[in-house]
Amino acid sequence: MKLTREFEERISRLHLQNKVFGGVYSGRGQEAIAVGCCADLGPQDVVFPLHRDLGVFVVKGVEPGRLMAQILGKEGGLSRGKDSFLHAGDLSKGVFGGTSMLGATLPVACGAALKFKLRHEPYVAVAFFGEGASSRGDVHEAMNFAGVHQLPVVFVCENNRYAYSTPQSLQMAVEDVAERAAGYGMKGLVCSGNDLAAVLETMGRALRRARDGGGPTLVECKTYRYRGHSEHDPARYRTEEELLEWSTRDPIPRWELYLEARGRDVAKVRRETEAEVTRVVDEAVAFAEASPEPEGPEAFEDLYATPLAVPEAPEGPAAFEPEPPQLTH
C-alpha cells in the first residue's frame, strides 16, 4: 500500500513538471482494495484493473520501472509509448489493459473465465469497476452471463461514492451495489475497502468459491478517493466535513494499528518499508526518465498479433474432397 501511494505521489509531482503522458487519476485512499484483492492471486490468474488501480499492477508483479515509463510515455513502457497508463496492460503478468469506457472489460473477464471453465483450469478472473459503471449495460450483461454459466470470476466494485462528481444517491436507489448480485444468481459480499484485513478475508471467500466451482461473486468494497476525479478536478462537490471524516479511515494507518495490535514493532516496520519504497520509486523514475522517446516508425509496430504458421494443403483433387460424415447411433 505504501509503495502504491509513494508511486502516485511521485507521479503527481512529475505531472506538475509536465512530464506525464495523459491524465493522472489518483487512487489515494483506495490502496487496500488493490492489495487485498490481488494478494492471493497466482501468476495464471488474470485481472482487469481500473484507472485508479496502480496497486493491481504492483501486486501482480509488473516491473515498476516499466510502469513508470508507461506513465511518462517512454519507449521502455508497457506499450512502448503508444498509450497512457489508462489503457496499460501486461499480459505476461496476467494484467489486461483497461478502456476509457469503464466497465467495458467485464465481458472480457467473462471470456477469460469461460476459457478457464472449459479447460478445467483452476484459475480466476478478477474484474474491477466503480459504482458508476454498475449502471452500464455491458456490466449487467457480463454479470448475467457469469451467473448463467457459473464462471470463475470475481467482480470487484470499488465504491468510492462518486462517479466523477455524481454521488451514489443520484444514480441508484439501493445502498449496496452488492444487492444486485441476487438478480444474477451469484453471491454478493460487502466489506470496508479501507480495511486491508477485511478485504483479504472477503476476497479470500470469493476466490475459494470460484476455484471450487461455486461460480462468480460480486464483492463491493466501500471506500473513498481522497483526491478529485483527476489532477485537474478540485472536487468542490464534496464537503470539508466529509473529507475529514474519511481521512480518519485511511487504510495505511489503519493497517499499522492492526500490526501494532498483533505485537509488531510498527515504528521499525514503517522505517524499513519507507526506505525500501523510496528506493524502488527512485529507481523507477530514473529508469523512466532515461528511457528514450518512441520513434515515429514504431507507431506501426505491435498493431497485430503474429500470424500462426498454417500448414500447406496437399496438392491434387483429393485436397478438395470432404471427408464422409461419421454417423453415430
Ramachandran assignment for 29, one of left (phi > 0), alpha (psi -120 to 50 degrees), beta (any other):
left
Share of the chain above pLDDT 90, in %: 81
Task: List Cα–Cα distances, 10 to 6, 27, 30, 207, 270, in angstroms.
Answer: 6, 13, 17, 33, 19
Residue 113, pLDDT above cutoff 90: yes
Using DSSP, state whether 153 is helix, strand or coil.
Answer: strand
- Predicted structure pTM score: 0.89
Backbone angles phi, psi at 304, to 5 degrees: -130, 155
Pick the CATH number of 2-295 from 3.40.80.10, 3.40.228.10, 3.40.50.1820, 3.40.50.970: 3.40.50.970
Strands 153-159 and 166-167 come out as: unpaired
Residue where the block lists cell 504492483: 58
The tens digit of pLDDT for each residue in 132-182 reads 999 999 999 999 999 999 999 999 999 999 999 999 999 999 999 999 999
CB–CB of 130/157 below 8 Å? yes
CB–CB of 200/170 below 8 Å? no
The tens digit of pLDDT for each residue in 250-304 reads 999 999 999 999 999 999 999 999 999 999 999 999 999 999 999 888 888 888 8
- Give the largest Cα separation in the chain, rounded: 82
> For 197-225, what is the mean pLDDT?
97
As a residue count, the chain comes to 329
CB–CB of 32/19 below 8 Å? no
CB–CB of 113/142 below 8 Å? no
Domain ranges of the chain: 2-295
* Amino acid 310: pLDDT: 74
